[in-house]
Amino acid sequence: MNSQSTCPFCDLLQKGEFLEQRESAVVIRDAFPVSAGHLLVISRMHEEHFTALDSIVRNDMLALATEMADRALKQAGVTGCNIGVNVGRSAGQTVMHAHLHVIPRREGDVADPRGGVRWVVPSKAKYWD
């Protein structure tokens, strides 16, 4: 568990280096991107889970993620976008500070993109055929 004193996102918030910012959230580049342009929308408030944030902050974060996805979709080669959130360690959350992922996708970046986020549970992902 990241406490506020050891939270890497809180450290980034202190530095103030953002791509975009709003009253309750900021945008940074993901330090370990899964695709070119992978961004994180981070709550200014240190709260472990996205679901624990009040609705105003969640809505602000979603609006910012949507704006970033719309921008990505206008870039050359970007044909899709995943917007996602991991809530809790069992869901894959590694930094215990509420954040959303915005992941630009390109034709051919994976062999078969069908199922998208369903692949978090590989045995259940493929429901077609």
The CATH number assigned to the domain holding 18 equals 3.30.428.10
Q: How many domains does the chain have?
A: 1
CA–CA gap between residue 52 and residue 45 (Å, rounded): 11
**120 compared with 50, residue with greater pLDDT:** 50
Per residue in 8-26, pLDDT (tens digit) is: 999 999 999 999 999 999 9
**Does residue 117 fall inside a structural domain?**
no
Question: For residue 117, what are the contacts with CB-CB under 8 A and spacing of at least 6?
Answer: 82, 84
**Does residue 116 fall inside a structural domain?**
no
**Does residue 13 fall inside a structural domain?**
yes
Confidence at 122, pLDDT banded by 50, 70, 90: confident
Q: For the residues 104-128, what does the mean pLDDT come to?
A: 88
**129 compared with 40, residue with greater pLDDT:** 40
Domain extent at residue 29: 4-107
Residue type, 58: R
Note the pTM of the prediction, 2 decimals: 0.92
**Does residue 128 fall inside a structural domain?**
no
The reported pLDDT for the residue numbered 3 is 65
Per residue in 63-88, pLDDT (tens digit) is: 999 999 999 999 999 999 999 999 99
Residue 4 has pLDDT above 80, yes or no: no
Confidence at 2, pLDDT banded by 50, 70, 90: low
The reported pLDDT for the residue numbered 74 is 98
**Does residue 20 fall inside a structural domain?**
yes
Residue 1 has pLDDT above 60, yes or no: no
